């Protein structure tokens, strides 16, 4: 399965880059768990952040950010088989879960729920 890892990005950070990076690190740590379970992990950030730089977003929450950040993750979910929701409160991550549910994707809230697949 291709599984989107959805967790807080900005939530609880007051847009502090160090705290945002901790949130990304937590999602990437979980992506490694998903990979080791035999699946293909993806993060919306892996697609959005390079585009934001290229589109010259000046800061988190500017018009360019809003144009790209969550919309690209929603599009990505359409290509995924499932969403794994991790971490604490996050409007964006909850939106990714709701999008996954609307599209009929499997929703996992704990990596222990993900079946192990042999490669």
pLDDT tens, residue by residue, 7-43: 999 999 999 999 999 999 999 999 999 999 999 999 9
Residue 108 has pLDDT above 80, yes or no: yes
Phi first, then psi, for residue 108 (nearest 5°) are -110, 140
* Banded model confidence at residue 72, pLDDT cuts 50, 70, 90: very high
Tell me the C-alpha distance between 13 and 8, whole Å.
9
**Residues forming beta bridges with residue 41, ordered by sequence position:** 3
Tens-place pLDDT, residues 52-68: 999 999 999 899 999 99
**pTM here?**
0.93
Strand order in the sheet with 106-108: 40-42, 2-6, 82-85, 106-108
pLDDT, residue 119, reads 74
| % of the chain surpassing 90 pLDDT | 95
């Amino acid at each position: 399965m291709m599984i989107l890892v959805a967790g807080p990005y900005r939530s609880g950070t007051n847009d502090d880059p160090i705290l945002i990076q901790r949130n990304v690190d937590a999602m990437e740590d979980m992506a490694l768990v998903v990979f080791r379970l035999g699946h293909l992990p993806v993060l919306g950030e892996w697609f959005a952040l390079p585009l934001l730089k290229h589109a010259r977003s000046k800061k988190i929450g500017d018009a360019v950010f809003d144009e790209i950040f969550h919309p690209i993750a929603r599009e990505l979910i359409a290509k995924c088989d499932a969403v794994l929701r991790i971490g604490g409160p996050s409007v964006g991550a909850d939106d990714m879960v709701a999008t996954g549910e609307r599209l009929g994707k499997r929703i996992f809230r704990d990596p222990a729920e993900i079946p192990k697949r042999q490669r």
